[in-house]
Chain A
Amino acid sequence: MAQEKLKIGVYGFTGCAGDQLLIIHSEDQLLDFFNVAEIRSFLMAKSDNIDDELDVAFVEGSISTKEQVEKIKEIRKRSKIVVAIGHCACFGGIQSMYTGDGTYEKRLKAVYGDKINFEIDTPIEAKPIDAYIKVDYYIPGCPIDQKQFFAAFSKIIHGTKPVSYWFPVCTECKWKENDCLLLKGILCLGPITNAGCGAICPSHNLPCVGCWGLYDDANLKSQINLLLEKGFSKEEILKRFKTFGGPKMTERLKEVLEEEEKNG
């Protein structure tokens, strides 16, 4: 069967490179990964990279400089499908925990001084890639999970849609028959976090910290009330929500808090 291989690019913006590394860490799949598709560009793994028309671009990292804004738009233009991989690309990463709260300029100055003018690029507040371009599919995780990534990758290269997980970490935690940490009074974010990790932290007796990002159908109001009942302060609860929250969490929280204020 002489089917033409899909042209694929793997790109990294600002982050820890963990999602690209996860692909490189997939020793059992790595040779196939390079075989079943034509990997045109993957700077972290090889040196003969060609940046031209692509069928699929996998993009890791948040957009954190002005040049990156142009670069992500340029990748979008020459790619039929853009897939955001990892927390930074999907949600903005830990570096976006304060995005939009008005402290960026102050924090930037605290770090860089008042008059700094970098020759190479201009730093901007970290945001997920869909703040600038349309994203076709999201594969969350910090970093992404092997099974989830390769399942999605296989679907995409065969021309079908990858399936996103439609349940939170709690579901996976129940499958593992773990004791519920919330019942023990531990601040766990399982109910509001996307599944996909296999409830790895609760399986180690540690609370979910939210690194798979905000679950679409999460009931934030109910989770806040539950944690207030458990004796945590509102400040503490919101701080934990925001660590892996990024601008999407901030937006959702705003709605919840505004509604609360309206209802007194």
Chain B
Amino acid sequence: MDKKIKIDALARVEGHGGITVEIKDNKVENVRVEIYEGPRLIETLVIGKTPEEDLNIVPRICAICTISHRYAAIRGLEKALGIDPPEKVKLLRELMHLGEMLESHSLHVFVLALPDFLGYSSVIAMIDKYKDDVVKALQLKKYANKIMRVVSGRMIHGENPIVGGFGRFPTKEELLEIKEEAKKMLPIAERGVEIMASLDYPDYAEANTVFMCLNPPNGEFGFVGDSLLFSTGEEYDVEKYKEAFSERVVSYSFAKRSRYKGQPFSVGALARINNIGDRLKGKAGAYYRKYHDDKWLVNPIYNNLAQAIEMVYCLEEIPKLIDKIVKMPDCEIVKPERLTGTGTGSVEAPRGTLLHHYEIKDYKITKSDIITPTAMNLDDIERYIRIAAEKLVERKEIESMNLQLEMIARAYDPCISCSAHLVKVIRK
């Protein structure tokens, strides 16, 4: 049997991408994840700009990961300029980042991924049967957006977090309101875990892979760290990211691909939960111990459940953070120690490790390198789609293959605007 499966435009993902699978004589031949998103050459736009201007530009790589981009950039720029901001600034940045994590995960789990499992085309189509859950999911999303609005100034592309501090600190009242609401939101996230855990996870895409995430300090779970931790046990300082993985390019995609020792690898919530989930405490820790098993190590679709557990983590963390923040006095914006330097900033974006590397001379950027999680994931998405296609051909389940392959791509929560922010093609 010959068949060409072509998903021209992946729905319910951010940005423009497609999948092509060619089957010949019952054998899967070509598998390609194609990225059509037009390139914007972002890294060339920031050359000659000041660190402040860089922060007006790079968060615009992606609306869903805007705070992660801003946070990673700030960390890289501050390292380069020798700035160590006060504790209050660091904690507020963590808070805004938890807001984004929660927002992005609630969007993905409930709005983008769940309709697949329940057989709907969108979350709106689910409203008749699941009104209560949909309304609550939207409440959770709205709450997460509020955190970003209060701390960063806006839901999307807020300019308030800057190098050395914040333009304006949120008030104690605003923060305490967020803290109180976290309690009301926790049951919604817990319900999310239970819903995602009750679904049948298809087993057509099972294979081992390597997971990578940041290693947060002090043996804690978290989304910020200065070293890259692989599931193989290897660890690299983020400044040495070029030793940890290599990048390659393909002509059918406007996005770069990353490999670890020549192999595809995965980043994101599943990588974090698999690598450091045993550090989770409280209710998130209890869910981890209840649901995490060996299947999570081989099946990318569990990323949905991993995200749901991280939502619980965020909501447990937010009140603790706010309790610390409100006790601290507002502080002045910290000025640079030096005007020339280099630095790599790293955070976990909702969909995986994000790196911003900068070289600065006389307070102007001379070089930047931005490596995004979806670009890291692309090779593994493609590999799992091939594995799934082969399995489905073997099982003669070809008719529903489009949706099943799309579900794998969607499980990774790909962010195509991020992945296609730049392509470097080296022709020999």
- A: residues with CB less than 8 A from B are 12-19, 21-22, 24-25, 27-28, 30-31, 34, 43-49, 61-65, 67-68, 93-95, 97-98, 107-108, 110-121, 123, 126, 142-143, 197, 200-201, 203-206, 209, 211, 239-240, 243-244
Which residue of the partner chain, among B121, B127, B157, B168, contacts A143 with CB atoms under 8 Å? B157
What residues on B are CB-neighbors of A240 within 8 Å? Answer: 53
Given contacts A45-B111, A112-B424, A200-B154, contact A25 B40 (CB under 8 A): no
Q: Is the CB of B38 within 8 A of A94?
A: no
Task: List, in ascending order, chain B residues with CB within 8 A of A114's CB.
Answer: 427
Q: How many A-B residue pairs have CB under 8 A?
A: 183
**Contact between B60 and A24, CB atoms less than 8 A apart:** no
Of B56, B127, B138, most buried by chain A (CB within 10 Å of CB) is B56
Instruction: Report which residue of A64, A107, A112, A142 has the largest number of chain B beta carbons within 10 angstroms of its beta carbon.
Output: A112
- Is there an interface contact between B127 and A111, defined as CB atoms closer than 8 Å? no
Contact indicator A111/B424 (Cβ below 8 Å): yes
B22 at the interface (CB under 8 A from A): no
Chain B residue numbers with a CB within 8 Å of A13 are: 38
| Residues in B whose Cβ lies below 8 Å from that of A97 | 45
What chain A residues lie within 8 Å of B254 (beta carbons)? 118, 120-121, 123
Cross-chain contact of B155 among A12, A25, A48 (Cβ < 8 A)? A25
A45 touches B56 (CB 8 A): no
Instruction: Note all chain A residues with C-beta closer than 8 A to B155.
Output: 22, 25
Q: Does the CB pair A201–B159 fall under 8 Å? A: yes
Give me 18 other A-B pairs in contact (C-beta within 8 A), A16-B66, A68-B38, A94-B42 excluded: A14-B38, A21-B64, A22-B63, A22-B156, A27-B139, A27-B141, A46-B124, A49-B11, A62-B38, A94-B45, A94-B57, A97-B45, A112-B423, A143-B63, A143-B157, A204-B167, A206-B162, A243-B56
User: CA A84 – CA B40 in complex, angstroms?
Assistant: 19
Q: Could you list some 7 contacts between A and B, CB below 8 A?
A: A21-B156, A61-B38, A65-B36, A111-B41, A118-B251, A200-B153, A243-B49
The chain A residue with its CB closest to the CB of B46 is A94
Contact residues in B for A17 (Cβ distance below 8 Å) = 14-15, 62-64, 417
Are A243 and B251 interface neighbours, CB within 8 A? no
**Distance in Å from the Cβ of B13 to the closest Cβ of chain A?**
7
Return the chain B residue nearest A86 by Cβ. Answer: B63
Contact A24 B153 (CB under 8 A): no
Q: Could you tell me if B63 and A21 are in contact, using CB atoms closer than 8 angstroms?
A: yes
Q: Which chain A positions have C-beta within 8 A of B227?
A: none
Residue in contact with A209 in the complex, picked from B9, B16, B138, B159, CB distance below 8 Å: B159
Report if B107 contacts A (CB, 8 A).
Answer: yes
Residues of A within 8 A of B158 (CB): 200
Whether the pair B153, A14 counts as a contact (CB closer than 8 A) is: no
Residue B41 contacts which of A43, A108, A116 (CB distance < 8 angstroms)?
A108
Question: What CA separation (Å) do A14 and B115 show in the bound complex?
Answer: 26
Complex: chain A residue closest to B58, CB-CB: A94
Please, how many angstroms separate the alpha-carbon atoms of A194 and B319 in the complex?
38
Contact B124 A120 (CB under 8 A): no
Q: Let me know if B66 and A18 touch, CB within 8 A.
A: yes
Assess whether B40 is in contact with A46, with CB atoms less than 8 Å apart. Answer: no
Task: Let me know if A205 and B40 touch, CB within 8 A.
Answer: no
Given the contacts A45-B12, A120-B34, A95 and B156 also touching, CB distance less than 8 Å: no
